[in-house]
Structure 1
Amino acid sequence: MASPSPLSFPALHASHGGIWMREGDETREASKGRAISIAAETPVILLNAPLAGQRLGYPELNGLDLLELWAFVHPARFLVPTPKGLAEALGLETPQREGDIPALYHAAAQALIATLADPEWAEREGAWTAAQSLHRLRWPWAQLVTPHLPTPKEAERWLFSKLPEWEEAAARPAPRTVTLNGEAVLERLDALTGHGAEARPGQRAYAEAAAASFAPRALRNQPNMLLAEAGTGIGKTLGYLAPASLWAAEAGGPVWISTYTKALQRQLDRESERLFPDASVRKRRVVVRKGRENYLCLLNLEDALQGGFAGRAAILAHLVARWAAFTKDGDMIGGDLPGWLPILFRRNGTTALTDRRGECIYAGCPHFRKCFIERASRASADADIVIANHALVMVNAARGRESATRPPRMVFDEGHHLFDAADSTFSAALTGQEAIELRRWVIGPEGTSRGRRRGLSARLSDLASYDAEGGEAIEAARKNAQVLPSDEWLKRVNAGEPYGPVEALLAAVRGTVYARAEGQDADAGYGLETELAEPDGALVDAAQTAAEALDGLLRPLTRLGKRLEAVIEDAPDWLDGAARARIEGAISSLAWRCDLVAAWLSILSRIGGPADPDFVDWLAVDRFEGREFDIGIHRHWLDPTRPLAETVLKPAHGVIVTSATLKGGGDWSSAEARSGSLHMDRPAARFEAQSPFDYPAQAEVLIVTDIKRGDIPAMAGAYARLIEAAQGGTLGLFTAIRRLRAVHARIADRLARAGLPLFAQHVDPMDTGTLVDIFRDDPRASLLGTDALRDGVDVPGHSLRLVAMEGVPWPKPSVLHAARRLAGGGSAYDDRIVRARLAQAFGRLIRRADDRGTFVILSAAMPSRLLSAFPEGVPIRRVTLDEAIVSVSERLGSGDAFVHDPRVATHGEAAGRE
């Protein structure tokens, strides 16, 4: 029987602008009812089923999704998941009208299926095996794909047998003591920028300043530290890569470059091609590192492929397996796994395929020698450049991980985020979610728990049989862990029927929070919190009881850790290399949990006693849209750069902290306070280079004065008119998800009818990276988002020409912010935060010398004292919305240059008139 053709299935396209269906050779506009009826009766070819289902109001829409077919045919290949992106990737004609898109879907399906018969198809290996499994799982595309895949003549060498094994290597010698030659650094910079590149005096000065940080340090715990603010366009990436790569080559040591966003990690990875053009050499000399929760766990994947997943989740597992055979490094979060792939499976995400719970059994895993995480860790030990992130660098330092390979030289790019990263890393929280995860780690599967969980007894069974004291410690830990919350803990707490001392504590926390919460906040449906001060007797008693129970758990865990260390030292007969590695992994995991419980005990000891001025403690009930999902006690450092300086900065030999907005629109005091340099024994050097861009000619700032605060219809109308005036290319920034959703709901259809696609975080079922890819790819598209889009988004060129903020980005009031505000100078502290946020948001606008754009703030309440956040000389005007629309239309629509206007003032002039 002949295999079915894609043309025998209807093609469906749904957007805010309308719905179109193609059946046979005819395309026509359809109603939602008819589209849903046809999609329910027969598989339809579409692109991004969750997004199309949202447009139809039919969230369970499924069918022949072209993105799933792409993931099968071209795993690990980039694709912008739009009709335009699909057409360009396949070399098809880009549709000019939405009515032409269903025909494109038919053509794309035919092209992808035709690839299966192409002898040059690069991703053929493993396809037949995967297709057979997907056919049994009733994957919709299987009926079209399977007939085009010939049966291989011999068994396919696929995935687990195909992946290479890493090899153990001798420890790397300590770096040699060298001093970089200034001329050699500039020669390396010239080689990286390329022959004939435009001379950049600021970049050369930056490279020379950065080189000083690679000099030998004079005293222990006094690294050569540089704070460097290099404006956008200076070329700071190559500016620090030049001395970093030269030092690595001459000293024989690694340089760790740490970022805050995954986008910059990808950018640095691309820039490394200039250092090592040969791909095989680059793979050895440059390594990207992330936390282990970012990487595919092969043991979890094997479990999923062998029946651990069911339904759509099982299909996802097989598509991930296809990707795993071709991935560069196994990075599932921000790597070469398409960010849109997990979203296609809605609730059946990829989190179960990574090691998010710290359950790794290390050498006890049959795939240990092929593990992506272990390979990256070992590769980084011999690399010249390690591209990591702030969180990983800090966690490794705080937990003593990889101490033998502690990086002697570090560059913190996106340095304005060091404070936030340290705040997260060095905090502690005793919450229901954290406690139940610890219980599961110690005890293992209970009751209805599913998955590949293994408790301490299962992971260390051979130790228990060999060492009686170790076995007793394991059993004591398992028994005492039952004081922790178990399944359904939140229901019991909410019903006033807690079970065990920790659940009783959480019930007392919840009662205190609701008793002290303001009525308006309690009714809003979002998280509640209250300062941990003047606790009542019930909370104090519950804290003491819980502390005794947790201490009872900490003791056997600590004893077990010591027994494991003794086993390593005694080296029994059964302790081969694999067993040693497994026990060393268990020691590391135990140390992490012991530190966690110790932090909880420290928090509980504070309740009812004197306050610790170094910390801020509070109680919280976490809610989303009225639904509670966690309860707990939180502790943060008042100044998290103190532990940052002690654990990360001081042990290094050289540190560079750099950013385009390091001072946040203020002076150096802000950069010093938020980078940790204030706590260093030796003051940091400073470097500053202004952006080479002509901001007065390339950009302007408009402050709209006639939009009333809280008037959602007026704000929505303003966004719609601004986007229409700019003809798309707009990044809309919000400080509240509620307002973002309300504005999007009011304007999306209107803009679609004008041929201006609108996408939004927290609305469209896509990850942030995919949304940015779509926005970058379509100059007529606009994107609405929150903080994640304000920082680290790089969209150069015409695709981003207007940034519109709903208002002044004041800090969210919270217990933690109130404490830091009090310690940091009151309103001056708030001003520093706002100026930094404005500077970062404005930095999204002008990324190249030929960029032009407008920055709009929809708030008459914008204080003039904050306008120093914008570059010197940039024109700033306070205008009505109508005037702003005219200016945006003339500037971004026609491309005319600025016309002199007596109301235009630079930020210096505006501040002088306040």
Structure 2
Amino acid sequence: MAFPTSFGMVISGDAIVALSAVRRDAAGTTGFFRFVETGTPVPPAILKAEGIPASAMKTALPIETVREDLLAFLPPECVLLVHDSAPVRNVLHHLLSGASKHTLLDTRELAGILFPSTGNHDLRSLADVLGLQPDPDVPDPGFRFAQDSLLILSLWDRLAGEAASLPKSLVRELYALFAPLRSHPLRTFFKTCSDAPRRADAYPEAAGGLRGLFSAEVVPRIEKQNPDGREWVPVDVANVEKLLGAGGILASNIPDYEFRQEQVDMAIRVTEALNASKHLVVEAGTGTGKSLAYLVPAILWAVANDMPVVVSTNTKNLQSQLLGKDLPLLTGLVGRGLKAAVIKGRRNYLCVRKLLFALEHAGLDLSPEERLALAGVLVWSIRSASGDLSECSAAAGPADPALHEMITADASECRGGRCDHRSRCFLFRARRHALSAHIVIANHAVVFTEMADGDSSMVLPPYRHAILDEAHNLEDAATRGLSMELSRYGIHFLLGRLWRPGRRHHDGGILPALTDHLGRYRSISPEVVGRMEQDAVKVMDAMAALDPVIDTLFSELSALLEGARGRESLRYSAERRIESDWALVLGARENLGRALGGLSLLLSAIIETLGHESLEAMPDRENFAKEINGVLVRVKQFSAEAAFVVAGASPDHVFWVERTKGRQGGARAWAAPISVGAMLAEQLYAQKASIIFTSATLTVNGSLDFVKKRLGLNVLEPGRILEMTVGSPFDYARQCTFMVPLFLPEPGESGGNYAEALGLLLAEVFRRTHGRALTLFTSYDMLQGCARTLRAQMGADSGQLLVHGESGSREHITQTFKQQTESVLFGTHSFWEGVDVPGESLTCLVLARLPFPVFTDPIVEARCERLESEGTSAFAGYSIPAAVIRFRQGFGRLIRHRNDRGIVIVADRRVAQKSYGQWFRRSVPAPMQSYAERGAFLDAVDQFVRQMSDERDAEGRT
């Protein structure tokens, strides 16, 4: 391609503050750096973030002068390299209007394709991961924007080299993917790479072209004994103690190993439960080392019996810890042929058949975003051993969920043993590994999906023993897995897989691809082709007729919300609703059911025709049949669920309509189980010999009764379930202080601006703690209001405020928070648990409000009503206990290690002043200190910060 020129910019609003460019041509590499007059003062926060002193702006030049200098600097033809072009594309286009030939290429997009396993494609993150170094021939002015342009050129060299190393068959496929986008720079890039000579060190080619590049692995089938009706070999408790005890195997082999009696006690109890085929509920406080406490007996039991133990978690973080740290450690020490595997739901794995099918029949159908994502998946797929899409950042971008539908398969689409790609099937391989494993790591979603679907979507091996970690989330996980959603977007998305009207007569979907495919093969009977084309036209006509039927149903659902008095949702049931209000909805649902039934018959006819003997020689015949059958199965499922949800007749479910925004069409309807306990008891607990339920937060007022009742464990026969509570080894009284500012208004109090008052207080607190703070909110509105106030108070330091929903993904801002030790993180619901930040990055934790369940949430409302109907106070029997468990999770974010120290500020004064506050105070291991005066509160913060500093200095001297 033409000479590359990289750009770095600083923009304030629509104005360019500073500009850098680095040009490489036949003469070498040259830099260009300018500051630009903006006409208004540049915000100090922007200058600070870029490392620009205010004095540098005195050298700023008028924009026209900078433009003339830049145009003179650029080669006549060049590739303009920008990293993340979206924010600067329009500005740069205006700046370069009138320039000679130039192509704007986004190195972030290209990096997403060529380095798809790199989680973060920010320039600085890529520079760290790839070890990028600026060109030494260009002096570094020291400003961030100038360094960016130098790094972008260095990144370009790596990207070009990486592309040149790819197999030619893959590069040609990438070019074909972008070929329909005539003006896209990646079309030219991959065409150039395709035409270039193959490098000697390139990735090896494979027989069979692209298909041959996928790793093929034959995993032998391991036949294990049927778990039903056999006697189990018990584990000797003494062997558990030998591993975990003081002076035991772990202590002898792990440097700085800390013996914890709490860990040994829990491990013994887990062993007893496995041996006796009983269930166990165990709360293990933070720092217990609960994962080793259950893994050691589970491994010993699984190896002794040659049967799997499934370990299920709720979060990816814990799965990563188990797979990356705990299991490798124990594999080396326990030995004896231990095998571990991870298994996820079907839709987590790339389907090689569907990927190749999508590439073959993509045509002009895909959007540019989908092509970018598919290109990244393609490059990643030939290198991946697991096919787990969570490893591929391209699969988590804006093209999702359409991309996932395109490249993953559910049970109805899977060809199983008849698939040509079975030896390359990632799911088949993962399941074979799981079938031979002793420890199988899964997540709650897989466990509950298989519980609900039975054998129809089985991926887990047959098992009778399980450990459910993070068990405080089980009720929510089961509720999500057993809920039904009825949305306009859902049905349109599903039908769009069959047919989507396109521009310039280029329709998208399976049916246009099928008719195009049929036209390529003259050997096929014209009669069969004609019948197929007629059936395809009938389906498209039926789908066109479906649109107004679908629109009517969701318009009528939307109309129900007009009388909802501003509420975002409206509960209903067959018993309570006013029939006259629902007549149009019920009629629309019946019309939809008939229309979907007719569509199902037409799809069945196409599938039957694809089985005609005259089509046996047609390539992709079975692939098309499977794709259409997958849609057919889900059309039938949608129709059945629509009937169930709209009917609202089940007394065991809560039904509601809620407002939606954007493309989902105004309203959607839901059905969710009011209680999951009885279902879990019947379909899970009764089917397993032993299940271990564990978490750091299961008790309320020292009792496990609340969680046992919510999970249906209270209905098990006496003696079937064991209980245990294990405390934390941390010295909370020394390591943290629990502070409550009584002078703040009560959250939600009329006349009080709580978010503003909290923001003003936190500005003073964070100056004293030098940031290093995590603030947890229960709503985005409160978070945003507090963030506005804090930014105004922090001024130039506001760039150190990381806000959930604004500053990037949860993973990105958590990682940034850990790296920038003086930053502040504002988070909502997902940050209340699973965030581990040991050390100096977190010394101040703020809980903005007591985390009561939202009483207007339909599920919460229905559960409270059910309790009241049973004679139990909903507030004392549900709202408070649920809030206490959530509160304990949030409180536990601060102290993650014996050496951690810090302040916990519970800003909601109700914890000290309401009678129910004692539930929260008793639930945490640190005594509360309340302050009526602002000055006394801030003095106490100062004192604790000094104390922490003195202790760290003393530790440093020793």
TM-score higher than 0.5 here?
yes
Q: Residues 416 and 755 (structure 1 numbering): CA distance in 2 closer, same or farther, change over 3 Å?
A: same
Aligned letter for 1:200?
A: R
Matches within 5 A, 1:340-355: 351=404, 354-355=407-408
Residues 1:511 and 2:559 are matched in the alignment: yes
Matches within 5 A, 1:678-717: 678-681=714-717, 683-708=720-745, 709=747, 710-717=753-760
- 1:645-704 CA-to-partner distances (Å, cap 9, x unmatched) read 222232122211111112256521122023331243454211211111111111122222
Aligned letter for 2:266?
A: Y
Residues 1:873 and 2:933 are matched in the alignment: no
Aligned letter for 2:796?
A: R
Q: Residues 81 and 631 (structure 1 numbering): CA distance in 2 closer, same or farther, change over 3 Å?
A: same
Tell me how far 1:820 sits from its aligned partner: 1.0
Q: Which of residues 308, 319, 325 in structure 2 aligns to 1:265?
A: 319
Aligned letter for 2:774?
A: L
Task: Write the distance in 1 (CA, Å) between the matches of 2:190 and 2:883.
Answer: 56
Residues 1:853 and 2:898 are matched in the alignment: no
Matches within 5 A, 1:280-295: 285-295=339-349
Tell me how far 1:112 sits from its aligned partner: 4.3
1:840 maps to what in 2?
A: 889
Matches within 5 A, 1:736-747: 736-747=779-790
Q: Residues 372 and 875 (structure 1 numbering): CA distance in 2 closer, same or farther, change over 3 Å?
A: same
Matches within 5 A, 1:153-552: 156-157=204-205, 160-167=211-218, 169-170=220-221, 172-174=223-225, 175=227, 177-189=232-244, 191=249, 194-195=253-254, 197-215=257-275, 217=277, 224-271=278-325, 272-276=327-331, 285-299=339-353, 301-302=355-356, 303=358, 307=363, 308-311=365-368, 313-333=370-390, 335=391, 337-338=392-393, 351=404, 354-355=407-408, 360-362=413-415, 367-400=421-454, 401-402=457-458, 405-437=461-493, 439=495, 451-453=508-510, 499-500=548-549, 503-515=551-563, 517-519=564-566, 521=567, 527-532=568-573, 533-540=576-583, 542-543=585-586, 546-547=589-590, 550=593
Aligned letter for 2:852?
A: W
Tell me how far 1:91 sits from its aligned partner: 7.6
2:773 maps to what in 1?
A: 730
Matches within 5 A, 1:12-27: 12=9, 21-23=19-21
Q: Residues 874 and 616 (structure 1 numbering): CA distance in 2 closer, same or farther, change over 3 Å?
A: same
Residues 1:817 and 2:860 are matched in the alignment: yes
| Identical aligned residues as a percent | 21
In 2, are the aligned partners of 1:90 and 1:108 still within 8 Å (CA)? no
1:895 maps to what in 2?
A: 948
Tell me how far 1:612 sits from its aligned partner: 4.4
Residues 1:762 and 2:778 are matched in the alignment: no
Q: Residues 135 and 827 (structure 1 numbering): CA distance in 2 closer, same or farther, change over 3 Å?
A: closer
Q: Residues 108 and 281 (structure 1 numbering): CA distance in 2 closer, same or farther, change over 3 Å?
A: farther
Give the match's secondary structure for 2:724.
strand
Q: Residues 597 and 19 (structure 1 numbering): CA distance in 2 closer, same or farther, change over 3 Å?
A: same
In 2, are the aligned partners of 1:416 and 1:661 still within 8 Å (CA)? yes
- Unmatched 5+ residue regions in structure 2? 22-29, 40-60, 95-102, 135-139, 519-523, 525-530, 748-752, 868-872, 952-958
Task: Write the distance in 2 (CA, Å) between the matches of 1:457 and 1:32.
Answer: 57
- 1:369-395 CA-to-partner distances (Å, cap 9, x unmatched) read 423333323332222222211111111
Tell me how far 1:794 sits from its aligned partner: 2.0
In 2, are the aligned partners of 1:666 and 1:832 still within 8 Å (CA)? no
Tell me how far 1:728 sits from its aligned partner: 2.3
Aligned letter for 1:181?
A: D
Task: Write the distance in 2 (CA, Å) between the matches of 1:737 and 1:865.
Answer: 27
Q: Residues 382 and 811 (structure 1 numbering): CA distance in 2 closer, same or farther, change over 3 Å?
A: same
Range with bigger deviation, 190-199 or 721-730: 190-199
1:90 maps to what in 2?
A: 131
1:902 maps to what in 2?
A: none
Task: Write the distance in 2 (CA, Å) between the matches of 1:110 and 1:200.
Answer: 53
Higher relative contact order (CA 8 A, sep 6+): 1
Task: Write the distance in 2 (CA, Å) between the matches of 1:665 and 1:330.
Answer: 45
Task: Write the distance in 1 (CA, Å) between the matches of 2:819 and 2:935.
Answer: 30
- 1:263-310 CA-to-partner distances (Å, cap 9, x unmatched) read 2222222122213459x999x933322233333444554435865545
Task: Write the distance in 2 (CA, Å) between the matches of 1:750 and 1:19.
Answer: 24
Tell me how far 1:846 sits from its aligned partner: 1.0
- 1:605-652 CA-to-partner distances (Å, cap 9, x unmatched) read 44xxxx64422222333237xx86352332222112222222223212
1:771 maps to what in 2?
A: 813
Task: Write the distance in 2 (CA, Å) between the matches of 1:245 and 1:36.
Answer: 68
Tell me how far 1:774 sits from its aligned partner: 1.8
Task: Write the distance in 2 (CA, Å) between the matches of 1:45 and 1:431.
Answer: 42
Q: Which of residues 135, 142, 152 in structure 1 aligns to 2:199?
A: 152
Q: TM-score, normalised by structure 2?
A: 0.74
In 2, are the aligned partners of 1:419 and 1:640 still within 8 Å (CA)? yes
Range with bigger deviation, 178-187 or 164-173: 164-173
Tell me how far 1:799 sits from its aligned partner: 1.8
Task: Write the distance in 2 (CA, Å) between the matches of 1:580 and 1:885.
Answer: 71
Aligned letter for 1:509?
A: L
Task: Write the distance in 2 (CA, Å) between the matches of 1:160 and 1:721.
Answer: 61
Q: How many residues align?
A: 836
In 1, are the aligned partners of 2:496 and 2:509 still within 8 Å (CA)? no
In 1, are the aligned partners of 2:468 and 2:692 still within 8 Å (CA)? yes
Residues 1:621 and 2:653 are matched in the alignment: no
In 1, are the aligned partners of 2:340 and 2:439 still within 8 Å (CA)? yes
Q: Residues 21 and 574 (structure 1 numbering): CA distance in 2 closer, same or farther, change over 3 Å?
A: closer
Task: Write the distance in 2 (CA, Å) between the matches of 1:32 and 1:255.
Answer: 65
Range with bigger deviation, 427-436 or 808-817: 427-436
Task: Write the distance in 2 (CA, Å) between the matches of 1:885 and 1:814.
Answer: 37
Q: Residues 52 and 155 (structure 1 numbering): CA distance in 2 closer, same or farther, change over 3 Å?
A: closer
1:9 maps to what in 2?
A: 6
Q: Residues 21 and 353 (structure 1 numbering): CA distance in 2 closer, same or farther, change over 3 Å?
A: farther
- 1:453-495 CA-to-partner distances (Å, cap 9, x unmatched) read 469999xx9xxx9xxxxxx9xx9999899988978x5xxxxxx
1:797 maps to what in 2?
A: 839
1:644 maps to what in 2?
A: 680
Aligned letter for 1:530?
A: R
Give the match's secondary structure for 2:740.
strand
Aligned letter for 1:318?
A: A
Tell me how far 1:416 sits from its aligned partner: 0.4
In 2, are the aligned partners of 1:756 and 1:780 still within 8 Å (CA)? no
Tell me how far 1:162 sits from its aligned partner: 2.4
- 1:777-834 CA-to-partner distances (Å, cap 9, x unmatched) read 2212222221111121222222222222332222222232122123332211211121
- 1:20-47 CA-to-partner distances (Å, cap 9, x unmatched) read 5444657666567999998999877666
Aligned letter for 2:849?
A: G
In 1, are the aligned partners of 2:354 and 2:407 still within 8 Å (CA)? yes
Q: TM-score, normalised by structure 1?
A: 0.77
Tell me how far 1:210 sits from its aligned partner: 1.4
1:904 maps to what in 2?
A: none
Aligned letter for 1:622?
A: T
Aligned letter for 1:732?
A: T
1:905 maps to what in 2?
A: none
The structure that has the greater radius of gyration is: 2
Task: Write the distance in 1 (CA, Å) between the matches of 2:789 and 2:771.
Answer: 16
Tell me how far 1:250 sits from its aligned partner: 1.9
Task: Write the distance in 1 (CA, Å) between the matches of 2:115 and 2:407.
Answer: 22
